[in-house]
């Protein structure tokens, strides 16, 4: 089943059910443009045989970066730099979609000390994020326009689809969550109002790219925080997305405040390892989605065995299998996995021995590997965990300083 094609509501056909999910590349040049390394990285992923590749965060506003190495699609003059990336990424007959996003209050201080957000509620994590400014009506309208412009640039550059990022605590996710959106106007309050920005962007983007261009949405099943965006509210948003006729719904969860979201239940309580009976972290929520929507459904997180991937596809629990880290640690095995010649993609575990550093160590490890891959280098598994835990802060600072000096 994993090697069979799928036809999306817009009519586009993806040659198989395996998706390389979004991972931030962090390698743009000082003008926020893609570099040759993007082509190197994505051509290698294209050669794995995966049916769909989704890019890492491509931001719509260069003042609101997710990382200092983000590409920003805000100027059509960049098209000659973007087009080679799209061509390399679809060189094996696969789709490649651009994940477009705005970081909102999750923009770190290296980019701006006063990020825009739904409300003035600061993200307090390691002192890296400034107090946000509540967006005005004009600024909200500007954000809608910026998503439309990024969509237009994506299509003109030769990418084959889009993913609108409304998960993981970025701006659209912030509007959806009652803990970060306490507005009293048409953009806050009820779930209908908190969904208004996402739905408005979707409608305007659809007008721009046309009915036959794939649009996906990445949505949290929950924030995994008390008082936050709940599964019940997420299902209400799914019903709205169903009416908008998007082409793929990707289910995820969590925010910067709950990085290890797959280890938490909805109340933020850690789940014991012994209770994780199945590979996919969001498979139970997927069943609830199936009860309210017929949208093509994708889950990322936890999939590792060939048999289980086929089982959930054959059962109709999901339509697409999303994987991220295996496309770093197991890239040479992906082709064999699709053919059933590799039965299991083994997890790679990096540990510092210090609980507070584990998330940062893993994040730094995978970021360093992507940078290596973009330079044509191979996987380096024996990296120092403690240095990996500090890498991202040093890298963000250095990269942001280079861009400011330039």
Dump the DSSP string for 313-363: HHTTS-SEEEESTHHHHTGGGHHHHHTTS--B--------S-GGGHHHHHH
* Residue 302 pLDDT > 70: yes
- State the number of CA atoms in the 13 A half-sphere of 52 facing the CB: 35
The residue among 171 and 355 whose pLDDT is bigger is: 171
Supply the pLDDT for residue 74: 97
Supply the pLDDT for residue 366: 96
At 41-52, the pLDDT tens digits run: 999 999 999 999
pLDDT band at 272 (very low <50, low <70, confident <90, very high): very low
For residue 149, CA distances in Å to 67, 74, 235 come to 20, 7, 29
Q: Where are the alpha helices (DSSP H) in 7-46?
A: 36-46
Supply the pLDDT for residue 268: 39
The residue among 167 and 302 whose pLDDT is bigger is: 167
**Stretch 293-304: mean pLDDT:** 93
Q: Which residues contact 398 (CB under 8 A, 6 or more apart)?
A: none
At 4-41, the pLDDT tens digits run: 999 999 999 999 999 999 999 999 999 999 999 999 99
CATH 3.20.20.70 fits 6-347, yes or no: yes
φ and ψ of 130, to 5 deg: -80, 170
At 59-88, the pLDDT tens digits run: 999 999 999 899 999 999 999 999 999 999
At 126-164, the pLDDT tens digits run: 788 999 999 999 999 999 999 999 999 999 999 999 999
Distance in angstroms (rounded) separating the CA atoms of residues 1 and 194? 37
Supply the pLDDT for residue 277: 41
pLDDT band at 356 (very low <50, low <70, confident <90, very high): confident
Q: Which residues of 223-247 are buried (b: 16+ CB within 10 A; e: fewer)?
A: bbbeebbbbebbbbbbebbeeeebb
Mean confidence (pLDDT) of the chain: 91
- Annotated domain spans of the chain: 6-347, 349-406
* Residue 166 pLDDT > 90: yes
Of the ranges 47-51, 100-104, 349-353, which one carries the lowest mean pLDDT score? Answer: 349-353
pLDDT band at 404 (very low <50, low <70, confident <90, very high): low
pLDDT band at 116 (very low <50, low <70, confident <90, very high): very high
For residue 25, CA distances in Å to 280, 336, 366, 402 come to 24, 25, 10, 17
Of the ranges 146-160, 213-227, 282-296, which one carries the lowest mean pLDDT score? Answer: 213-227
Supply the pLDDT for residue 273: 44
> What percentage of the chain reaches a pLDDT higher than 70?
93
Statement: the pTM of the whole predicted model exceeds 0.75: yes
């Amino acid at each position: 089943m994993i090697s069979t094609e799928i036809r999306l509501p817009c009519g586009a056909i993806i040659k198989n059910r395996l998706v390389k999910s979004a991972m931030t590349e962090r390698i743009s040049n000082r003008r926020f443009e893609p570099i040759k390394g993007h082509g190197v990285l994505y051509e290698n992923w294209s050669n794995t045989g995966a049916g769909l590749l989704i890019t890492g965060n491509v931001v719509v506003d260069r003042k609101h970066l997710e990382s200092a190495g983000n590409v920003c699609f805000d100027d059509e003059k960049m098209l000659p730099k973007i087009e080679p990336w799209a061509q390399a990424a679809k060189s094996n007959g696969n789709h490649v979609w651009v994940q477009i996003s705005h970081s909102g209050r999750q923009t770190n201080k290296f980019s701006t000390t006063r990020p825009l957000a739904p409300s003035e509620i600061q993200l307090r994590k390691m002192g890296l994020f400034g107090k946000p400014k509540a967006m005005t009506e004009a600024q909200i309208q500007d954000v809608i326009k910026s998503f439309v412009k990024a969509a237009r640039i994506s299509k003109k550059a030769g990418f084959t689809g889009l993913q609108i990022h409304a998960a993981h605590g970025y701006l659209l996710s912030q509007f959806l969550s009652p803990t970060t959106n306490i507005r009293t106007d048409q953009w806050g309050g009820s779930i209908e109002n908190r969904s208004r920005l996402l739905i408005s962007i979707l409608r305007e983007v659809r007008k721009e790219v046309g009915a036959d261009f794939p649009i996906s949405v990445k949505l949290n099943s929950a924030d995994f925080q008390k008082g936050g965006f709940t599964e019940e509210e997420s299902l209400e948003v799914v019903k709205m997305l169903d009416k908008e006729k998007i082409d793929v719904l990707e289910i995820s969860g969590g925010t910067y405040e709950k990085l290890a979201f797959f280890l938490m239940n909805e109340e933020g309580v850690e789940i014991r390892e012994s209770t994780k009976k199945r590979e996919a972290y969001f498979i139970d929520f997927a069943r609830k989605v199936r009860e309210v929507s017929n949208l093509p459904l994708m889950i990322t997180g936890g999939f590792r065995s060939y048999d289980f991937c086929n089982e959930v596809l054959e059962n109709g629990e999901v339509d697409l299998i999303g994987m991220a880290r295996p496309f770093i640690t197991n890239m040479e095995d992906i082709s064999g996995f699709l053919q059933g010649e590799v039965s299991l993609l083994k997890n790679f575990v990096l540990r510092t021995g210090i609980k507070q550093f584990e998330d940062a160590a893993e994040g730094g490890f995978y970021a360093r590997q992507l940078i290596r891959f973009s330079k044509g280098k191979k996987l380096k598994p024996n990296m120092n965990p403690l240095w990996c835990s500090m890498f991202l802060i040093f890298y963000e600072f250095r990269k942001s300083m280079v861009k400011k000096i330039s």
